[in-house]
Amino acid sequence: MIVANRKSLEEILNMLKPYKKVLLLGCNECVTVCAAGGEREVGVLASELKLSRAKDGQEIEIKEQTLERQCDHEYIDQVRPFVGDYEVILSIACGAGIQYVGEKYRTKIVLPGVNTTFLGVTLEQGVWSERCQGCGECVLHMTGGVCPIARCAKSLLNGPCGGSSNGKCEVDKDLDCGWQLIIDRLKELNQLDRYEEIIPVKDWTTSRDGGPRKRLREDLRL
Amino acid sequence: MKTKSNIERILESGGFVVTSECGPPRGADPEVIRKKGNLLKGVVDAVNVTDNQTSVVRMSSFSSCIILKEMGFDPILQMVCRDRNRIAIQSDILGAGALGINNILCLSGDHQKFGDHPKAKNVFDIDSIQLINTVKILRDDGKFLGGEEVKGKPVLFIGAAENPFADPFEIRAARLGKKVKAGCEFIQTQCIYNMEKFTKWMEMVRDRGLHERCAILAGVTPFKSVGMAKYMKNSVPGMDVPDGMIERMKGVAKEKQSEEGIKICVETIQKLREIPGVRGIHIMAIEWEEKVAEIAQSAGLLPRPQV
């Protein structure tokens, strides 16, 4: 899933300073799972905002709405009947959702209520961890199913640097060394000989470096 | 001989190599380099010049190499992958070739988190093993990574670093094997304090025959004090300082500690020289360059062969 963190109340209040009528939009997908921008978070944020503004004598009207997805226009269209009643949209979907809402309502200012961080998994209740950077050319079959791009702090493709110690990364004592994980897994899979192969320089054109990406499936187009 | 490198020449003649390093200053004063250089005259066969080590901004390795070259040294250009993509890297390698730099040390580079600009974006377009191979392709095949032909090949002796004490230990020799396969001709190791582990690593290196295809220069760093020893043990990533070493430093009076540090260093060198496959010593006296001559002298490494 796409993992996001809600921005601090202070930062959101600051962005909302000039406005009195706000449409607060949550999303039922990834940000719901990572507890940053789902229906529950919409409710909590709305209450916090109203309370703070009331304390400052700056009443605020907030319409709470959580869409099935903010990355598909058919769901974004659902707020069309009343979007005009509000001065500003505060979206707590991921960065893709926030932008897409803005693309659909071009005269509306859309403010981000979260910081979008990474593609990851739920480790346990309340803990999420990065797994993928969407580089566009997967090498997991060569690295024991553990991604060196996302999980090594230096994205090294040919093994651990000299800072790997007791399974941890030099960057942070609480961070697993990605290459330790790769080597452990290769051993479990009886594939340690794969480590001997030199992985050549990577073609980054499939990643962000090639410019903003677009995917096309002719067979699915109408 | 593939290059004009002094270390390659000594290695080919079967000699034992001595190198040291020079950390560039945090400013534009060339005298700092010249002063450090003067302390190493006649003591070493080549001088490493670090590349923004620990991710702290310093005078570039490249320009410091040129200053040392003008003084008659054979500098080793250290190059990290943290700050340059393959375009900048290849461009600097061509420049090094043009200006008569004969050696390059290919490194991944410390993470910027440790330095004075932790908010910087890192590059890591290629890794150290791919960098080794890049230099080799430019030099031996006369090709850029993009496939085009190089007009005027850069002729550099190719080195890299290896940390025998980092984890996972079991693949450390395999990792060196990848470096050798990529084109690495000499290795300078992380500072050696844990002789037992280093000896084990060298066994693994010899089992693979890597010592015959790549010269291993063993790294040493003298302790100035017990405080430094503790700092190296606890705060420097990938450093392995056995408790016995700390105890030994603790055991002498404060004013005698630097002397003891030098003594340990000299003894370490003597032990390292006995290990089959060790072809030289790399003395890293961090901000203590004035002691390199004394260490080399006491360890019986002087005089150096004439250039």
| Residue spans of beta strands (DSSP E) within B248-304 | 278-283
Whether B84 and chain A come into contact, CB under 8 Å, resolves to no
Task: Answer whether A198 sits within 8 Å of B82, measured CB to CB.
Answer: no
Chain A residues with beta carbon closer than 8 angstroms to that of B127: 154-158
pLDDT of residue B112: 97
* Token pair of B77 as six digits: 């250009």
pLDDT of residue A222: 87
Distance from C-alpha of A112 to C-alpha of A98, rounded to nearest angstrom: 6
Average pLDDT of the residues in A34-49: 98
pLDDT of residue A27: 98
- B window 4-43, beta carbon within 8 A of A: none
CATH number at residue B289: 3.20.20.220
pLDDT of residue A10: 98
pLDDT band at B146 (very low <50, low <70, confident <90, very high): very high
Tell me the pLDDT tens digit for each residue of A52-74: 999 999 999 999 999 999 999 99
pLDDT of residue B237: 77
φ/ψ of residue A65, rounded to 5: -150, 135
Distance from C-alpha of B282 to C-alpha of B273, rounded to nearest angstrom: 12
Å between B106 CA and nearest CA of chain A: 12
Chain B residues with beta carbon closer than 8 angstroms to that of A156: 108, 124, 127-128
Mutate to test the interface with B, among A146, A168, A170, A185 (most CBs of B within 10 A): A170
pLDDT of residue B16: 97
Chain B residues with beta carbon closer than 8 angstroms to that of A149: none
> What length is written for chain B?
307
Å between A215 CA and nearest CA of chain B: 24
Task: Answer whether A204 sits within 8 Å of B178, measured CB to CB.
Answer: no
Mutate to test the interface with A, among B81, B130, B204 (most CBs of A within 10 A): B130
Total number of domains in chain B: 1
Residue recorded with tokens 């449409």: A23
Task: Answer whether A170 sits within 8 Å of B190, measured CB to CB.
Answer: no
Return the amino acid letter for B95: G
In a domain, B202, yes or no: yes
Nearest residue on chain A to B114, alpha-carbon basis: A171
Q: Where are the domains of chain A?
A: 2-117, 133-207
In a domain, B305, yes or no: no
Average pLDDT of the residues in A178-193: 97
Q: What is the 3-state secondary structure (H, E, C) of B137-184?
A: HHHHHCECCCCCECCCCCCCEEEEEECCCCCCHHHHHHHHHHHHHHCC
pLDDT band at B236 (very low <50, low <70, confident <90, very high): confident
Average pLDDT value for chain A: 97
Chain B residues with beta carbon closer than 8 angstroms to that of A201: 86, 125-126, 130, 134, 145
ipTM score: 0.94
In a domain, B166, yes or no: yes
Tell me the pLDDT tens digit for each residue of B10-43: 999 999 999 999 999 999 999 999 999 999 999 9
**Residues of chain A contacting B, Cβ within 8 Å:** 153-167, 170-171, 177, 179-180, 183-184, 192, 195-196, 198, 200-202, 204
Tell me the pLDDT tens digit for each residue of B169-195: 999 999 999 999 999 999 999 999 999
pLDDT of residue B227: 95
Distance from C-alpha of A39 to C-alpha of A70, rounded to nearest angstrom: 13
In a domain, B279, yes or no: yes
Return the amino acid letter for B122: N
Residue ranges making up the domain that contains B121: 6-298
Q: Would you give the DSSP letter of residue B277?
A: T
By C-alpha distance, which of A161, A199, A168 is closest to B172? A161
By C-alpha distance, which of B213, B73, B98 is closest to B155? B98
List the single residue in B122, B124, B174 with the smallest CB-CB distance to A195.
B174
- B window 140-199, beta carbon within 8 A of A: 145, 161-163, 166-168, 170-171, 174-175, 177-178, 181-182, 190
Distance from C-alpha of B252 to C-alpha of B260, rounded to nearest angstrom: 8
Task: Answer whether B166 sits within 8 Å of A162, measured CB to CB.
Answer: yes
Average pLDDT of the residues in B149-169: 97
pLDDT of residue B307: 60
Tell me the pLDDT tens digit for each residue of B66-122: 999 999 999 999 999 999 999 999 999 999 999 999 999 999 999 999 899 999 999
Task: Answer whether B113 sits within 8 Å of A171, measured CB to CB.
Answer: yes
Report the percent of chain B where pLDDT is more than 70.
100
Distance from C-alpha of A46 to C-alpha of A59, rounded to nearest angstrom: 12
pLDDT band at B241 (very low <50, low <70, confident <90, very high): very high
Task: Answer whether A183 sits within 8 Å of B109, measured CB to CB.
Answer: no
In a domain, B1, yes or no: no
List the single residue in B127, B177, B238 with the smallest CB-CB distance to A162.
B238
By C-alpha distance, which of A113, A133, A124 is closest to A2? A133
Return the amino acid letter for B54: T
Task: Answer whether B130 sits within 8 Å of A157, measured CB to CB.
Answer: yes
CATH number 3.40.50.300 given to A2-117: no
Name which residue leads in pLDDT, B208 or B307.
Answer: B208
Mutate to test the interface with B, among A158, A175, A192, A196 (most CBs of B within 10 A): A158
Nearest residue on chain B to A161, alpha-carbon basis: B108
Tell me the pLDDT tens digit for each residue of B244-284: 999 999 999 999 999 999 999 999 999 999 999 999 999 99
In a domain, B113, yes or no: yes
